[in-house]
Structure 1
Amino acid sequence: MRTEEARPLTWDHVYLATENGVPPHVAVWRSVRRHGETKTRKSRRAIALPKQVVEVLEEHLRWQERESHGIEWSPAGRVFTTRSGEPLDAVNVRRDFRAIVKKAGLEPEWTPRELRHSFVSLLSDHGIPLERIAMLVGHSSQATTEAVYRKQLRPVITQGAEAMDEIFRFEALRRDSEA
């Protein structure tokens, strides 16, 4: 999800249990853009949640319920808020992300947007087809996914060297058999 899609996310768009064969998922239908629209029509999507994310969101919901102290944190309330229950803005997200990056010992230049780039790159490196990745991240075209988001995780291209090693090994074996 884009941070602009996560910030307005409400609990009534988060499904933490499998129901009628549909796995846990999040329905991305809104953003903080003008008129609440997502960036593109294809940005409206339902994304299945990994088990680890389901567990974290369940704990987060329990935390909100414990911490509400009179603040209206209803099932239709926002998933991600400030500690006082207020809606997040871009400044909150960047500040909190910088704190996490620092605590993790990463370079301070990291931004929340780079999580999307990492997600795309990891899926691509894992063999997920580009068209499916584009659909997951809500791109209207896989060209954007490939040109802007996907980074080569294994920058050393080994196929040429491997082919040459095999060719020359074959040549060496042939010479040895002729001798």
Structure 2
Amino acid sequence: MSRRLTKLQMLRQGEAPKPASPAPDTVCGDFLDYLKGECHLAANTIDAYGRDIRLFLQWLGGKDLRKVRVGQLSDFMGHLRDKGQAPSSIARTVVAVRTFFRYLQLEGRVTDNPAELLSTQKMWQRVPGVLSIREVDDFLRSPRKTDTFWQRDRAILEVLYATGCRASEVCSLRVRDMSLKERHIKAHGKGGKQRMVPIGSRAIQAIELYLEQLRGKLAAKSPHPPEALFLSRGGRPLDRIQLWRLVKLYARRVGIDPKISPHSLRHSFATHMLAGGADLRQVQELLGHASIQTTQIYTHVEHSRLKKVHRQFHPRA
């Protein structure tokens, strides 16, 4: 009763009551619903943002979100760095926190948006790990005919490097997404976006061999005709964890850095394209990046082409 009287007194004095601070246990769920329903982000992105925001709210310790300032946000990023989080993970957390506070502001749950002043520090950025062309060749040849599913595994590795697709995009490929005669495939990217990606001869040959010799046998183990291109031993669509394990397996076989992941082949694809003379905008389109700034990280990796241009054209090189 006293609470109602207080609000009534505030209204009589011409003051609007301040909105209650959003409860951490519900605001995160509401935020994820917003990302899915309004922003149409990919499921993996929503999961990652959810982990980031839950960690942030836990670190905040129940403090009023309306009173958070940019200094506290910077302290949180420093906390993640001290905990040993990778610079790329911290950079993603910065984006997640920005989006979170923008959502709170749109909903009227906070008045100010301190995250607008939060910048992605250069020290949080890192140059992505890239394989040499020789390492890529060894890696793509690593599946042997003595391996149970070597046709599938070789096709997967070839597609990862030939297209620069994300692991989730490779796992979601369907047979009808293949236009091998036209030498391209349809990739299903983040946020439901689709793009046509060219594919080379070696990857096409590997896919055709897999379709001819193995996929039908795997598909026969499924109770329903599967649409996915790459199937598990039980005839189900291959998932990202299985793909990750395959990459690790063949990396160990040829003695490549054990930190390699499916994304390493995406990094290598982009870097080798730029080294060969591709335009940055073209690489952006092939990778499916929404922003050119995301693609620009690869310009920090490959300097050999620029050095060659400098030696060739600068009068005092």
Query: TM-score of the superposition, structure 1-length normalised?
Result: 0.72
Return the match for 1:28 from 162, 175, 187.
Answer: 187
- Give 2:242's match in structure 1, choosing from 92, 115, 119: 92
Alignment of 1:111-130 (within 5 A): 111-130=261-280
1:142 aligns with 2:301: no
In structure 1, distance between residues paired with 2:278 and 2:313 = 25
* Contact 2:276/2:305 (<8 A) preserved: no
Instruction: Give the aligned residue type for 1:89.
Output: D
**Offset, 1:148:** 5.6
Match of 1:71 in 2: 222
Residue 152 of structure 1: how far off its partner (Å): 1.6
Which piece of structure 1 moves more, 152-161 or 112-121? 152-161
Q: Distance in 2 between matches of 1:65 and 1:93?
A: 20
> In the alignment, is the contact (CA less than 8 A) between 1:5 and 1:28 conserved in 2?
yes
1:12 maps onto 2:176 in alignment: yes
Distance change in 2, residues 1:115/1:153 (3 Å): farther
Q: 2:174, 2:278 → 1: CA distance?
A: 29
Say if 2:219 is the partner of 1:60.
Answer: no
Q: 1:106 to 1:4 in 2, by over 3 A?
A: same
State the match for 2:166 in structure 1. Answer: 2
Partner residue, 2:63: none
User: Is residue 39 from structure 1 mapped to residue 205 from structure 2 by the alignment?
Assistant: no
Change beyond 3 A, Cα 1:68–1:155: same
Conserved in 1, the CA contact under 8 Å of 2:177 and 2:185? yes
Unaligned runs of 5+ in 2: 1-164
Specify which structure has the bigger relative contact order, considering alpha-carbon pairs within 8 angstroms and separated by 6 or more residues. 1
For the residues of structure 1 that align with 2:186 and 2:233, how far apart are their CA atoms? 24
Contact 1:47 1:136 in 2 (8 A): yes
Could you report, residue by residue, the CA deviation over 1:87-129 in whole angstroms, capped at 9, with x for unpaired residues? 2222211111100101121011111111111000000000000
| One-letter amino acid matched to 1:11 | V
Amino acid across the alignment from 1:8: S
Deviations 1:52-106 (A, max 9, x none): 11100001112112444443685x6211121221222222111111001011210
Measure, in 2, the Cα distance between the counterparts of 1:149 and 1:44.
25
Query: What is the aligned partner in structure 2 of residue 175 from structure 1?
Result: none
Sort the Cα spacing of 1:154 and 1:116 in 2 relative to 1 into closer, same or farther, 3 A.
Answer: same
Instruction: Provide the C-alpha distance between the structure 1 equivalents of 2:309 and 2:201, rounded to a whole number of angstroms.
Output: 36
The 1:135/1:162 distance shift into structure 2, 3 A limit, reads: closer
Aligned length in residues? 152
- Percent of counterpart pairs with the same letter? 21
Structure 1 spans left out of the alignment, 5+ residues: 18-22, 30-37, 169-179
Q: What residue in structure 2 maps to residue 34 of structure 1? A: none
Q: Is the 8 A contact 1:121 1:153 kept in 2?
A: no
Q: Secondary structure at the match of 2:304?
A: coil
Q: For the aligned residues, what is the CA RMSD?
A: 2.9
